[in-house]
Amino acid sequence: MPIQAKFIVTKVRLLQALWLLLAVFQALILAGLIDYKYRAGGRLTSWEQAQQHLVMAISVLIGFTLLLEKFYRSIVEKDWSKKWLRGVILVIGIYFILNTVGNLLAVTLFEKVAFTPITAVSAIFCIQFASKSNKYETSTEL
């Protein structure tokens, strides 16, 4: 059964909002407004370590958000079958599966409770988007 365009829009926009919120959270840690112990499973030992992790995390999340927009645009243009794009979305899904496991193993309860659901939903949606069995129905207006 084809996935309706409105569900794709909802899922893509939800993930983009979640990922941008995560980037903002990372930026707040980088600005010193939130303690860095809530980063990397509570295993960081210094502010310098945190800074390196944070800059990379912010970049990756913004990059993921932009790739997801490209994925969405490829569906709108009925060119969603580009293998490289589906492959990238699959890699992002695998990244979030690993991130979910990391969140479950986090030292801080906050990270377990707050970030495990976000990364799990991200993984599920990305794997679903990358699935070859999906047929995207774009006949409805986006």
What pLDDT is attached to residue 100? 93
What is the per-residue pLDDT for 97?
95
pLDDT at position 131: 80
pLDDT at 120: 94
**Dist CA 106 CA 92 (whole Å):** 20
pLDDT of amino acid 138: 47
Sign of CA dihedral 7, 12, 15, 16: negative
HEC-encoded secondary structure of the chain: CCEEHHHHHHHHHHHHHHHHHHHHHHHHHHCCCCCHHHCHHHCCCCHHHHHHHHHHHHHHHHHHHHHHHHHHHHHHCCCCCCHHHHHHHHHHHHHHHHHHHHHHCCCCHHHHHHHHHHHHHHHHHHHHHHCCCCCEECCCCC
**pLDDT for the residue numbered 47:** 81
Task: Using 70 as the pLDDT threshold, list the residues of the chain that sit under it.
Answer: 1-6, 75-82, 132-142
Q: How does the average pLDDT of the chain come out, rounded?
A: 78
pLDDT at 121: 93
Q: Is 39 left (phi over 0), alpha (psi -120 to 50) or beta?
A: beta
How confident is the model at residue 136, as a pLDDT? 53
* Cβ partners under 8 Å of residue 96, min gap 6: 119, 120, 122, 123, 126
